[in-house]
């Protein structure tokens, strides 16, 4: 039985029962996972340093807002990851969730769900490579399919992390740096003074890369569309980079002028949530196309509404559709291989 994951562009599951003929883990796969794990650890350190920087400069409001953003976004990602694990547990009794239940619960409570997913992908890649070295094709294919499944799940969680944590932090950081221009905030002397600028630049590049990868995956699951070449990738990356910079700069300027901008954002989120619930028929983590949302329990509807609210928050920075056609879900094995390659590329940043 092949592994399954959750499609990056929808609420539904996709199957990896049919994958590309070449199911061999390459060195760049393992290297990519290692870089991804290291990046998450470094990113955590940067978040802590940013909070300390605000407190040292006596910017308690910025520090408190950053802490709230980090904690809320992290637990949202943990909830999404837990929901995925719960579906896996019902479907596959042999899933690792049953073997290391306490560790996985602890990682979700901390919360380090995305790091846990990347570690799982790294372990599956190593096991698949080792099985291939021992010429055990069945185990190699088995762990390769599990690796693909974790790749797509990681990409979805990374998308949430990008726009629930990085983007709001960017708004705060750019708003803080605007104080340098007006003289309200004093810029430190030496290299440490440029730390917010350096952190913001890396975040802008990371967000643009994440969006570029997401757009590529959306394109590749459409059979009537041609795949994007390298020049197209470069153009899309620059397009997303400049759009991200302009949107965040605009929001930062509004926030710098008045904190009432947060009220406007809250109204926008409310309107988008109601609009998505009324116009898009979806159910998170449910692959049953015959499922009727009207027959769902109260808790299922509540959870679905909360997940829709997540996308409403993301819509402040970019719009992500919730629905996907059955044609896109049934994309053949070549798409699965290319999706895997795209996700690997996104994890290298």
Structure tokens at 337: 């291989």
Task: Quick: pLDDT tens for 180-210.
Answer: 777 776 666 666 667 777 778 878 888 888 7
Residues 6+ apart with CB under 8 A from 183: none
* Range list of β-strands (E), the chain: 4-6, 13-15
Chain mean pLDDT for the chain:
74
Is the preceding omega at residue 111 within 30 degrees of 0, hence cis? yes
Task: Quick: pLDDT tens for 210-249.
Answer: 777 767 666 655 656 676 777 888 898 898 889 888 889 9
DSSP 5: E
Q: From residue 175, how far is each of 32, 48, 161, 207, 244 by CA, in Å?
A: 33, 19, 20, 18, 15
Residues 6+ apart with CB under 8 A from 295: none
- Alpha-carbon gap, residue 59 to 66, rounded angstroms: 11
Identify the band that residue 328 occupies on the pLDDT scale cut at 50, 70 and 90. Answer: very low
Q: Which pLDDT does position 339 carry in this prediction?
A: 42
């Amino acid at each position: 039985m092949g592994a399954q994951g959750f499609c990056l562009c929808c609420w539904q599951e996709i199957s990896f029962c049919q994958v590309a003929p070449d199911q061999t883990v390459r060195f760049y796969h393992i290297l990519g996972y290692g870089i991804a794990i290291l990046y998450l650890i470094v990113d955590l350190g940067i978040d802590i340093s940013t909070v300390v920087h605000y407190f040292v400069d006596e910017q308690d409001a910025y520090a408190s807002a950053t802490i709230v953003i980090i904690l809320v976004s992290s637990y949202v990602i943990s909830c999404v990851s837990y929901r995925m694990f719960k579906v896996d547990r019902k479907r596959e009794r042999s899933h690792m969730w049953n073997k290391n239940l306490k560790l996985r619960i602890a990682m979700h409570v901390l919360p380090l769900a995305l790091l846990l997913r990347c570690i799982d992908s790294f372990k599956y890649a190593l096991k698949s490579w080792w099985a291939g070295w021992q010429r055990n094709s069945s185990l190699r294919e088995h762990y390769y399919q599990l690796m693909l499944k974790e790749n797509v799940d990681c990409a979805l969680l990374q998308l949430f992390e990008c726009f629930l944590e990085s983007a709001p932090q960017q708004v705060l950081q750019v708003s803080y740096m605007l104080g340098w221009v007006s003289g309200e905030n004093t810029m430190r002397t030496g290299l440490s003074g440029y730390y917010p600028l350096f952190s913001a630049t890396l975040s802008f590049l990371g967000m643009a890369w994440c969006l570029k990868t997401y757009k590529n995956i959306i394109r590749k699951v459409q059979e009537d569309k041609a795949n994007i070449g390298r020049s197209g990738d470069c153009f899309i990356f620059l397009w997303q980079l400049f759009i991200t910079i302009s949107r965040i700069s605009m929001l930062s300027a509004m926030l710098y002028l008045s904190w009432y901008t947060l009220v406007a954002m809250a109204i926008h989120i409310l309107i988008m949530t109601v609009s998505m619930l009324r116009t898009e028929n979806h159910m998170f983590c449910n692959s049953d196309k015959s499922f009727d949302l009207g027959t769902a329990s109260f808790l299922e509807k509540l959870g679905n509404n909360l997940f829709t609210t997540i996308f409403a928050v993301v819509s402040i920075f970019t719009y992500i559709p919730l629905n996907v056609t059955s044609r896109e879900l049934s994309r053949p094995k070549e798409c699965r291989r290319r999706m895997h390659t795209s996700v690997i590329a996104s994890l290298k940043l």
